[in-house]
């Protein structure tokens, strides 16, 4: 019994791969090795089918019609709210607002909660490892309100410097905004602990979950955060849709940032009242097919079990970290082991520019990303202009990690001229 309890769950990767039609593609005559999952993941057949089924068999606008298609579409759309609630452990479906993605969700909090609650001299605390999506909206609202943006440092190992975080958390901090997982370093931030510290100072906690939702079990109540944002396209769902979780009492007190159809209580010539939460924040025709397909992505993740997914991706990351150790002249950023690390690996070569690495790797069929990854403050901290980044998903294999390493060595040899 004890053995069974300790055994790590194993994912049937080949069976999973069979669910993703795009993985059969060849690129430049080579089998596709897709390692740009932090930018966007691929979609399983079930997600593609959910979108096609909507358009082919019950396409209608939601919340507006009293005919069968519209009622079915509305019911499916609202069901997804409950699915997302279950995925992230929210207390009620009303705590889930559909957005275009993480970026829009974070801007919504900044522009609504931020504008209403920030005063001159208040402080917003972010970290050096934030994606621009969790940096620029705070910079914008700070400028508008006279609040001050502070930034907690990252250690040389690529983790949040807890001492510096504490030093920057003051009695004036109103908002702490941080990534659950860094899209460059792979670092998993200890959100629950940080949220506890932030709350003792009276700040609210906004979490950018873009790189976590598809990889880690997420429970917003266990994390103790007040807002949590993520994008469907980074967790096997479609582009153009994502969600903002917000504590109901906070959402209830918030003003919408966009006016239009579907978000009103009553409109007169003089004034408008708002619809209840969450519809207040969903102005205009929403990406209905995409929301419904997000529901299929949530089913897919929950069916496979996120602990199992996490264990598989951790094995891949551990294997890749070990293999990279033997690559001469290659520096890997972020935590050195899988402890507190998600499946994102950024690296720099002593001899080869990241863009050149990515170009040569592409010729080998290996898709990695090169650039600043929308994290320029972090690039400055790391002392580089860009990195090459490989990021894994549940359909990747150790053979693909080997192909990545072979291709990396090939690129290094090519540019060294040996
Ligand atoms: N936050 C992080 C950590 C990300 O990695 C990304 C996308 O790469 C975003 C936010 C923005 O996500 P989206 O472009 O889907 O809004």
With respect to residue 3, please indicate whether it lies within any of the assigned structural domains. Answer: no
pLDDT tens, position by position, 139-182: 999 999 999 999 999 999 999 999 999 999 999 999 999 999 99
Q: How many CB atoms lie within 10 A of CB 29?
A: 7
Task: Measure Cα distances from 103 to 62, 133, 283 in Å.
Answer: 24, 5, 16
pLDDT confidence of residue 9:
76
Picking from 260, 279, 303, the residue at the C-terminal end of a domain is 303
Same domain, 289 and 362: no
C-alpha 38 to ligand 1 mean position (Å): 8
- The rounded percent of the chain whose pLDDT value lies above 70 is 98
Q: Which of 127, 186, 234 to mutate to test the pocket of ligand 1 (most atoms within 8 A of CB)?
A: 234
Picking from 303, 321, 350, the residue at the C-terminal end of a domain is 303
Give the bridge partners for 204, in sequence order.
175
pLDDT tens, position by position, 275-296: 999 999 999 999 999 999 999 9
Q: Give CA–CA dist 113/118, Å, rounded.
A: 8
With respect to residue 69, please indicate whether it lies within any of the assigned structural domains. Answer: yes
Active-site annotation holds for 225? no
Same domain, 232 and 254: yes
Q: What is the residue-wise DSSP string for 242-285?
A: EEEEE-HHHHHTPPPSS-STTSEEEE-SS-EEEPSTTGGG--SS
Query: What radius of gyration do the chain's Cα atoms show?
Result: 22
Structure tokens at 119: 């005063």
Q: What is the dihedral of CA 126, 130, 133, 137, to 10 degrees?
A: 20
Same domain, 98 and 131: yes
pLDDT confidence of residue 393:
98
pLDDT confidence of residue 417:
75
C-alpha 66 to ligand 1 mean position (Å): 37
Give the bridge partners for 345, in sequence order.
390
With respect to residue 5, please indicate whether it lies within any of the assigned structural domains. Answer: no
Same domain, 283 and 180: yes
Range of weakest confidence among 30-34, 64-68, 270-274: 64-68
Q: How many CB atoms lie within 10 A of CB 196?
A: 12
Pocket around ligand 1 at a 6 A CB cut-off: 38, 101-103, 131, 133-134, 179, 183, 208, 210-211, 231
Whether the full predicted model's pTM is greater than 0.85, yes or no, is yes
pLDDT tens, position by position, 350-373: 989 999 999 999 999 999 999 999
Beta strands in 94-154 (DSSP E): 96-99, 123-127, 148-152
What CATH code is carried by the domain that includes residue 119? 3.40.640.10
Closest-lying ligand 1 atom to the alpha carbon of residue 239: 15
pLDDT tens, position by position, 294-304: 999 999 999 99
Same domain, 244 and 106: yes
Closest-lying ligand 1 atom to the alpha carbon of residue 231: 15
Fill in the DSSP letter of residue 189.
P
Closest-lying ligand 1 atom to the alpha carbon of residue 181: 3
Q: Is the dihedral of CA 204, 207, 213, 215 positive or negative?
A: negative
pLDDT confidence of residue 8:
60
With respect to residue 340, please indicate whether it lies within any of the assigned structural domains. Answer: yes
Picking from 303, 322, 341, the residue at the C-terminal end of a domain is 303
C-alpha 76 to ligand 1 mean position (Å): 26
pLDDT confidence of residue 155:
98
Q: Exposed/middle/buried for 238, CB within 10 Å: 0-12, 13-18, 19+?
A: buried
Q: Which of 40, 102, 135, 218 to mutate to test the pocket of ligand 1 (most atoms within 8 A of CB)?
A: 102
With respect to residue 212, please indicate whether it lies within any of the assigned structural domains. Answer: yes
Name the residue at shortest CA distance from atom 4 of ligand 1: 210
Same domain, 27 and 73: no
Helix (H) or strand (E) holding 177: strand 173-179
Q: Exposed/middle/buried for 125, CB within 10 Å: 0-12, 13-18, 19+?
A: buried
C-alpha 271 to ligand 1 mean position (Å): 36
Backbone angles phi, psi at 136, to 5 degrees: -65, -45
Same domain, 224 and 86: yes
Strand 148-152, strand 123-127: pairing: parallel
Same domain, 97 and 110: yes
Mean of per-residue pLDDT scores for the chain: 96
With respect to residue 2, please indicate whether it lies within any of the assigned structural domains. Answer: no
pLDDT confidence of residue 7:
55
With respect to residue 1, please indicate whether it lies within any of the assigned structural domains. Answer: no
Same domain, 244 and 110: yes
Is pLDDT at 189 greater than 50 in this prediction? yes
pLDDT confidence of residue 348:
96
Residue pair 196/168 in contact by the 8 Å Cβ criterion = no
With respect to residue 7, please indicate whether it lies within any of the assigned structural domains. Answer: no
Is pLDDT at 418 greater than 60 in this prediction? no
Name the residue at shortest CA distance from atom 8 of ligand 1: 39
- Secondary structure (3-state) at 154: strand
Same domain, 177 and 276: yes
Domain that holds residue 409: 13-42+306-416
Residue pair 361/368 in contact by the 8 Å Cβ criterion = yes
Same domain, 100 and 203: yes
What CATH code is carried by the domain that includes residue 341? 3.90.1150.10
7 vs 80, more confident: 80
Same domain, 191 and 96: yes
Is pLDDT at 414 greater than 90 in this prediction? no
Q: Give CA–CA dist 301/230, Å, rounded.
A: 15
Closest-lying ligand 1 atom to the alpha carbon of residue 103: 16
Number of structural domains found in the chain: 2
Mean pLDDT of 176-202: 98
Is pLDDT at 415 greater than 90 in this prediction? no
pLDDT tens, position by position, 307-330: 999 999 999 999 999 999 999 899
C-alpha 131 to ligand 1 mean position (Å): 7
pLDDT confidence of residue 86:
98
């Amino acid at each position: 019994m004890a053995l069974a309890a300790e055994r790590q769950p194993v994912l049937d990767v080949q069976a999973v791969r069979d669910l993703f039609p795009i993985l059969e593609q060849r690129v430049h005559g080579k089998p596709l090795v897709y390692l740009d999952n932090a930018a966007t993941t691929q979609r399983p057949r079930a997600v593609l089918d959910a979108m096609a089924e909507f358009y082919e068999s019950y396409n209608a606008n939601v919340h507006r019609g009293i005919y069968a298609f519209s009622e079915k579409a509305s019911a499916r759309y609202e069901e997804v709210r409950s699915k997302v609630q279950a995925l992230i452990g929210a207390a009620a479906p009303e705590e889930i607002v559909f957005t275009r993605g993480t970026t829009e969700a974070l801007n919504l909090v900044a522009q609504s909660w931020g504008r209403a609650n920030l005063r001159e001299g208040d402080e917003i605390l972010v970290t050096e490892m934030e994606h621009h999506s969790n940096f620029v909206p705070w910079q914008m609202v700070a400028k508008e309100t006279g609040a001050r943006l502070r930034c907690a440092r990252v250690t040389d190992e690529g983790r949040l410097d807890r001492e510096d975080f504490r030093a920057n958390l003051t009695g004036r901090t109103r908002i702490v905004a941080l990534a659950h997982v860094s899209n460059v370093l792979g670092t998993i931030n200890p959100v629950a602990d940080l949220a506890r510290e932030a709350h003792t100072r009276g700040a609210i906690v906004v979490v950018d979950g873009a790189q976590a939702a598809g990889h880690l079990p997420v429970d917003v109540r266990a994390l103790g955060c007040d807002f949590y944002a993520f994008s469907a396209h980074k967790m096997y769902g479609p582009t153009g849709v994502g969600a903002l979780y917000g504590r109901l009492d906070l959402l209830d007190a918030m003003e919408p940032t966009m006016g239009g159809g579907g978000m009103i209580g009553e409109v007169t010539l003089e004034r408008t009242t708002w619809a209840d939460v969450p519809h207040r924040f969903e102005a205009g025709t929403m990406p209905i097919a995409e929301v419904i397909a997000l529901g299929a992505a949530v089913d897919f993740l929950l069916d496979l079990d996120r602990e199992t997914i996490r264990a598989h991706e951790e094995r891949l990351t551990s294997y890749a970290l070990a293999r990279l150790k033997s690559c001469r002249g290659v520096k890997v950023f972020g935590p050195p082991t899988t402890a507190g690390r998600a499946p994102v690996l950024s690296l720099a070569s002593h001899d080869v520019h990241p863009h050149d690495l990515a170009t040569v790797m592409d010729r080998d069929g290996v898709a990695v990303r090169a650039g600043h990854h929308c994290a320029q403050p972090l690039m400055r901290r790391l002392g580089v202009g860009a990195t090459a980044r490989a990021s894994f998903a549940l359909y990747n294999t150790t053979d693909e990690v080997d192909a990545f390493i072979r291709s990396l060595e090939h690129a290094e040899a090519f540019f060294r001229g040996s």
